[in-house]
């Protein structure tokens, strides 16, 4: 068993910590918040981010990067995508030259339009990289419920090895060498979950919900492929799978954020919704690649305050009729 360092003591980092503690990997969480570190070590709880889970004994936390990363051959990055560059750059001196950097966050860097694995390549040159993405709510994984995800790495052989390393009795990793497809699926589904949540929050009905998810999936596949993902990857767990999960449950923070948008509720204080940060850059990338992505563009315009929900729905319905292309 190898020692895993988990960068980020939020819901997902803690859930992965539970998973790998039960599998015997002695995971150590690096969390910036001293209260979270103390609660994990002393009370076996993470009250702020994963309040309902009793954490297994093998999971420890620290706010000291050197301690978290000492002897770690496997480093899971689980901070919000917009913080990844800063966090990984700060930790670079502590990460072994051959340490495997595994991206577990879902997003695209707003400022640069760079995918998160490219950010890791820039700030951690030479380290092997992998991506873990797919339908997996932190609360489910923390409870040990059955979960399947996609594990991507640079070659098929390294993806197979990473999938073996990251799979457990309850957590099944399917391997692929298509890192771009896997991270595109994970990032773009968040934007579409906002749209699905907004439709639900506005009370537009189950038929509209199905329409937005289906046409949203067309956009995810088109844009994901234009950005370099393989079409079949986007049909898999990290595309369709995660879209289905997050567009159908208020357990998804992106869906919940969309519901608040649709209802016109105050959104201050809501939990992290990565789609809010990804929407504008996704819309811009679609435009740059000549991809028709009206739902993604609409979400970006609503978030930017350029369009209200009712005008957005009217505009989507008023688009010229066309043949169905999928
Ligand atoms: N929660 C879930 O079910 C899943 C989340 N993810 C992804 O994992 C990533 C993290 O999500 P969660 O852990 O759920 O979020 P969270 O909001 O529960 O926790 C975020 C963690 O990152 C830390 N953090 C934030 N900004 C930071 C910074 N600048 N420097 C250092 N640490 C910082 C926070 O202190 C917190 O510990 C996101 O990209 C999300 O899309 C992926 C799969 C499942
Ligand atoms: O990515 C997730 C599950 O696969 C979590 O979704 P939310 O970030 O919308 O909660």
Cα–Cα distances (Å) from 84 to 32, 115, 123, 313, in that order, read: 14, 11, 10, 34
Are 107 and 234 in the same domain?
A: no
Cα separation, 261 vs 176, whole angstroms? 36
Catalytic (active site) residue 67: no
The DSSP string of 249-262 is -TTSHHHHHHHHHH
Q: Which structural domain, as residue segments, surrounds residue 101? A: 4-177
Q: Would residue 325 count as lying in a domain? A: no
Decide the pairing of beta strands 147-153 and 129-133. antiparallel
Confidence band, pLDDT 50/70/90 cuts, at residue 98: very high
pLDDT at 124: 98
The pLDDT, as a whole number, for residue 246 is: 98
> Are residue 224 and residue 142 in the same domain, yes or no?
no
Residues 20, 168 within the same domain: yes
- How many domains does the chain divide into? 2
- Dihedral of CA 311/314/317/321: which sign? negative
- Whether 212 and 285 map to the same domain: the answer is yes
pTM: 0.98
The b/e string for 109-123 (b: 16+ C-beta within 10 A; e otherwise) is bbeeebbbbbbbbeb
Residue where a domain stops, chosen among 132, 155, 177: 177
The answer to whether position 127 is within a domain reads: yes
Contact in structure between 260 and 277 (CB atoms under 8 Å):
no
Q: Which of 177, 208, 223 is the last residue of a domain?
A: 177
pLDDT at 233 over 60: yes
pLDDT at residue number 179: 98
Are 280 and 235 members of one domain?
yes
Q: Would you say residue 104 has pLDDT above 80?
A: yes
Residue 289 lies in a domain: yes
Whichever domain contains 129, its CATH number is: 3.40.50.720
Domain check: are 165 and 17 in the same one? yes
Distance 275 CA to ligand 1 centre (A): 13
Quote the tokens at residue 130. 């992998």
Q: Are residues 258 and 109 in the same domain?
A: no
DSSP strand pairing (4-7 vs 28-30): parallel
The catalytic residue among 28, 189, 215, 221 is 189
Q: How far apart are CA 82 and CA 66, in angstroms?
A: 23
Which of 159, 177, 195 is at the close of a domain?
177
Strand order in the sheet with 129-133: 60-62, 28-30, 4-7, 74-77, 100-103, 129-133, 147-153, 171-176
| Eight-class DSSP state of 109 | -
Ligand 1 within 6 A of CB of 229:
no
Q: Which two tokens stand for residue 126?
A: 């030479």
In a domain, 323, yes or no: no
Does the pLDDT at position 294 exceed 90?
yes
Centre of ligand 1 to C-alpha 314, Å, is 35
For residue 29, the surrounding DSSP H or E stretch is strand 28-30
Does 1 have pLDDT greater than 70?
no
């Amino acid at each position: 068993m190898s020692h895993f360092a988990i960068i980020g003591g939020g819901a997902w980092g803690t859930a992965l910590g539970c998973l790998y503690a039960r599998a015997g990997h002695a995971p150590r969480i690096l969390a910036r918040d001293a209260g979270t570190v103390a609660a994990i070590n002393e009370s076996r709880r993470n009250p702020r981010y994963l309040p309902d889970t009793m954490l297994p004994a093998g999971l420890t936390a620290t706010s000291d990067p050197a301690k978290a990363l000492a002897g770690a051959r496997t480093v899971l990055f689980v901070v919000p995508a917009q913080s990844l560059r800063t966090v990984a750059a700060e930790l670079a001196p502590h990460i072994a030259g051959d340490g495997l950097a595994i991206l577990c966050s879902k997003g695209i860097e707003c400022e640069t339009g760079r995918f998160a694995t490219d950010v890791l390549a820039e700030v951690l040159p030479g380290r092997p990289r992998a991506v873990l993405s797919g339908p997996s709510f932190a609360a489910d994984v923390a409870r040990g419920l059955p979960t399947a995800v996609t594990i991507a790495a640079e070659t098929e052989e390294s993806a197979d090895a990473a999938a073996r390393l990251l799979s457990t009795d309850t957590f099944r990793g399917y391997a692929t060498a298509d890192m771009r497809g896997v991270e595109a699926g994970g990032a773009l589904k968040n934007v579409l979950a906002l749209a699905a949540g907004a439709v639900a929050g506005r009370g537009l009905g189950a038929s509209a919900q199905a329409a937005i998810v289906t046409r949203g999936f067309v956009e995810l596949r088109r844009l994901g492929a234009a950005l370099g993902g393989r079409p079949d990857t986007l049909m898999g767990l990290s595309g369709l799978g995660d879209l289905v999960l997050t567009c159908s449950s208020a357990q998804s923070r992106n869906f919940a954020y969309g519901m608040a948008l649709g209802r016109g509720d105050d959104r201050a204080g809501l939990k992290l919704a990565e789609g809010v940060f990804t929407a504008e850059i996704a819309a811009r990338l679609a435009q740059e690649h000549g991809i028709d992505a009206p739902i993604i563009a609409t979400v970006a315009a609503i978030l930017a305050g350029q369009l209200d929900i009712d005008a957005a729905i009217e505009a989507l319905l008023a688009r010229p009729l066309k043949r169905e292309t999928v």
